[in-house]
């Protein structure tokens, strides 16, 4: 069973989140004092950290900066703040996503489950030399991609983009997620994602059976047999 660490000084909200997760068969532990988080992470295993920002003892951003190098689990900020600068700071110090208070229960569950799936897929894909979906085979060690046995001539960026999409097949990925994970930066021209997607599509035969556009959000790489 997956386990989430909930860090929020508001007892009522943290207990509500724990109850919501329990109904989804996701275990959780509540820590209301952020000063206790480091020790908790040393003694217990968690799959995701849900972190409030506005806390009196230590802010969520300060805590994230302190522990980011110690844990590789997804960190989702739970905050009343909705300013772009606040989000940029959160991403810069290692946060993976935001949920704004007051939150919708369904959105909360969907985002947590999505990041848990991404984590599982990332670990699984890192243990495999190749990724094969449909008639595409991507070799991480040789940096080669073959379609129906024929090698595709991809740039390094196109290869990294395709690898990220294939590692997360079946998951809707925002343009921001793609940019941060492929370009390894939170800043830059987000439009370059669309440019490289188009270039990659031009080199893939029957690309529509692999990469679909989610208008206003991003892209999804379909699983084998066009399964979403």
Query: In terms of pTM, does the model score above 0.85?
Result: no
Q: What is the residue-averaged pLDDT of the chain?
A: 86
Q: Which domains does the chain have, with CATH numbers?
A: 3-122 (3.40.50.2300), 128-226 (1.10.10.10)
Q: Residue 102, preceding bond cis, omega within 30 degrees?
A: yes
Q: Give per-residue pLDDT as tens, 47-58.
A: 999 999 989 889
Band of pLDDT at residue 117, cut at 50, 70 and 90 = confident
H-helix or E-strand spanning residue 114: helix 105-126
Euclidean distance between CA atoms 197 and 195, whole angstroms: 6
Assess whether pLDDT exceeds 80 at residue 33: yes
Assess whether pLDDT exceeds 90 at residue 201: yes
């Amino acid at each position: 069973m997956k386990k989430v660490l909930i860090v929020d000084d508001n007892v009522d909200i943290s207990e509500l989140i724990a109850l919501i997760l329990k109904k989804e068969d996701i275990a959780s532990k509540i820590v209301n004092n952020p000063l206790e988080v480091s020790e908790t992470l040393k003694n217990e295993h968690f799959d995701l950290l849900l972190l409030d920002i506005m806390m009196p003892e230590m802010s969520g951003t300060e805590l994230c900066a302190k522990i980011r190098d110690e844990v590789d689990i997804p960190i989702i900020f739970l905050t009343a703040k909705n300013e772009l600068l606040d989000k940029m700071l959160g991403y810069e110090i290692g946060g993976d996503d935001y949920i704004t208070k007051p939150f919708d229960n369904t959105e909360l569950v969907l985002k947590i489950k999505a990041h848990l799936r991404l984590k599982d897929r990332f670990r699984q894909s890192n243990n495999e030399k190749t990724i094969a979906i449909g008639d595409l085979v991507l070799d991480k060690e040789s940096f080669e991609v073959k379609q129906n046995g024929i090698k595709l001539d991809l740039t390094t960026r196109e290869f990294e983009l395709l690898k990220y999409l294939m590692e997360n097949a079946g998951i809707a990925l925002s343009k921001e997620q793609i940019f941060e994970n492929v370009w390894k930066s939170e800043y830059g021209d987000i439009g370059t994602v669309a440019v490289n997607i188009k270039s990659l599509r031009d080199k893939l035969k029957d690309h529509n059976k692999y990469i679909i556009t989610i208008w206003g959000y991003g892209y999804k790489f379909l699983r084998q047999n066009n399964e979403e």
